[in-house]
Every structure is written in C-alpha cells, then in structure tokens.
C-alpha cells in the first residue's frame, strides 16, 4: 500500500494504482480523451494532466499513467493544471473544430475558440489518441488497424491501407472512439 495526498485528502491505495483510478474512485473529475478502463493507458491526449509535488518539487504529469506513490501530493484542479488543459483544448479545437466531444470539454473550461490556426488539410476529427488501435489489439485481439506515417501525415489505417482480412467487424474501434469519427457503417 502507498499513502499520498489527493486534493488535500490523505489516502492509502494499492501500489501501482494510477492517480486517475484513485481520482475516479473519489468522484473527482479529470478530463480524458484517450483513456478507457478496459485498456492499457497510452498517455496520448495529455488532457488528464495533474500537478504532482514530489519531495517539494511540483511537476505536471498525466494522471492516467502516473502511479500513486508514498508522500506525493497531487492536485487535480490548480491554476497551472487548468491553464495546461485550456491550451490543449485550444489545440484540439484547432484540429477538430466540429468534434462535439471536444467542444463539450472545452466549454467546461470556458474555451470557446482557439488561437491556433490549422490548414484545412491539417484538420481531422481523429485526434490520434490510439484508443481504436488499442481496442482492436487488446479487446478484439485482431490488430487490424495501426498508426501509419509520421508528423503531420500521421494517421490510423489498416496494414498497407488495404481492407484488413483480420477485421471481423466487431466495431470495438467505433465504440471507443472519443470523437465519434469512426462511423458504424464505415466499420462494417
Ligand atoms: S487520458 Fe491521460 S493522456 Fe489521455
């Protein structure tokens, strides 16, 4: 067991438990886009950032990956945390201006517009969180989709961009997609 402080409250939890898991148990809302409790955490969206004070040093860490540790102090809603999330939300709004999921989370943080401008070709409702890739691999055990290319050309596709014969049409990818960009008929 480890003992740490979450938003001023001392807690004892099983070693290896992440801050996000503890926060959820405690009813503390931490926004996430790339997390699903049935799958391994990937740390892609960074929206779950929290402030961790370890041996007197504060740092910003992703709650979905960071394990509770003896003596640390974690704060989920400081000014610095909110500022980090707001910047990320502006970036997501620039990339996916029509995604209702992102618009809704952004609204919670008072973010209605973005300072970042992207070309039409750089926009996408896919935020490359990789949840669909992990669902296909970890839940369906099919590995029918994966990340392809690098930088601004990065995308998710089937191997060699061809119809994957490993796809069984289970639609797990569409089910977990946080922005709803994978439509059920397209996943058939
Ligand atoms: S939920 Fe932690 S990085 Fe996306």
Counted domains in the chain = 3
Specify whether the CB–CB gap between 145 and 133 falls below 8 A: yes
Examine the domain organization and report whether 93 and 159 are in the same domain. Answer: no
Examine the domain organization and report whether 21 and 64 are in the same domain. Answer: yes
Q: What is the mean pLDDT of the chain?
A: 92
How far apart, in whole angstroms, are the C-alpha atoms of residue 13 and residue 31? 21
Examine the domain organization and report whether 8 and 74 are in the same domain. Answer: yes
Examine the domain organization and report whether 89 and 59 are in the same domain. Answer: no
How far apart, in whole angstroms, are the C-alpha atoms of residue 144 and residue 130? 13
CATH number at residue 53: 3.10.20.740
Examine the domain organization and report whether 53 and 31 are in the same domain. Answer: yes
Phi, psi of 153 (to 5 degrees): -90, 0
User: Ligand 1, residues 48, 88, 177, 179: which to mutate, most atoms within 8 A of Cβ?
Assistant: 48
Query: Alpha helix locations (H) across 8-129?
Result: 19-25, 79-95, 100-108
Closest atom of ligand 1 to CA, residue 48 = 2
Sign of CA dihedral 35, 32, 49, 126: positive
User: Is the shortest distance between the CB of 33 and ligand 1 below 6 Å?
Assistant: yes
64-109 pLDDT per residue, tens: 999 999 999 999 999 999 999 999 999 999 999 999 999 999 999 9
Examine the domain organization and report whether 60 and 86 are in the same domain. Answer: no
User: Is the shortest distance between the CB of 34 and ligand 1 below 6 Å?
Assistant: yes
Among the listed residues 114, 132, 130, the one whose alpha carbon sits nearest the alpha carbon of residue 172: 132
- Which of 78, 109, 142 lies at the terminal end of a domain, its last residue? 78
Q: Is the pLDDT of residue 142 over 50?
A: yes
According to DSSP, the β-strands at 2-6 and 155-157 are: unpaired
User: Is the shortest distance between the CB of 131 and ligand 1 below 6 Å?
Assistant: no
End-to-end Cα separation, the chain, in angstroms: 45
Domain span at residue 60 reads 2-78
CATH number at residue 158: 3.30.70.20
122-138 pLDDT per residue, tens: 899 999 999 999 999 99
Q: Ligand 1 centroid to 95 CA: how many Å?
A: 17
Examine the domain organization and report whether 7 and 43 are in the same domain. Answer: yes
User: Is the shortest distance between the CB of 144 and ligand 1 below 6 Å?
Assistant: no
Closest atom of ligand 1 to CA, residue 65 = 2
Examine the domain organization and report whether 62 and 85 are in the same domain. Answer: no
Give the pLDDT band of residue 158 (cuts 50, 70, 90). confident
Examine the domain organization and report whether 148 and 135 are in the same domain. Answer: yes
Give the pLDDT band of residue 46 (cuts 50, 70, 90). very high
Cross-strand pairs, 60: 51
């Amino acid at each position: 067991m480890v003992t740490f402080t979450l938003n001023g409250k001392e807690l004892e939890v099983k070693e290896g438990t992440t801050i996000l898991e503890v926060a959820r148990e405690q009813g503390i809302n931490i926004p996430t886009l790339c997390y699903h409790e049935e799958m391994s955490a990937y740390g892609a969206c960074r929206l779950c950032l929290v402030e961790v004070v370890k041996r007197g040093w504060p740092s910003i860490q992703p709650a979905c990956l960071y394990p509770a540790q003896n003596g640390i102090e974690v704060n989920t809603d400081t000014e610095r945390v909110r500022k980090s999330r707001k910047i990320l939300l502006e970036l997501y709004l620039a990339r996916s201006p029509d995604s209702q999921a992102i618009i809704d989370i952004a609204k919670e943080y008072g973010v209605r517009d973005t300072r970042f401008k992207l070309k039409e070709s750089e926009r996408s409702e896919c935020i490359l969180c990789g949840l669909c890739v992990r669902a296909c691999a970890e839940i369906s055990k099919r590995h029918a989709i994966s990340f392809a290319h690098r930088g601004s050309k990065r995308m998710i596709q089937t191997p060699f961009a061809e119809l994957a014969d490993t796809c069984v049409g289970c639609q797990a990818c569409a089910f977990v997609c946080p922005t709803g960009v994978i439509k059920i008929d397209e996943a058939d």
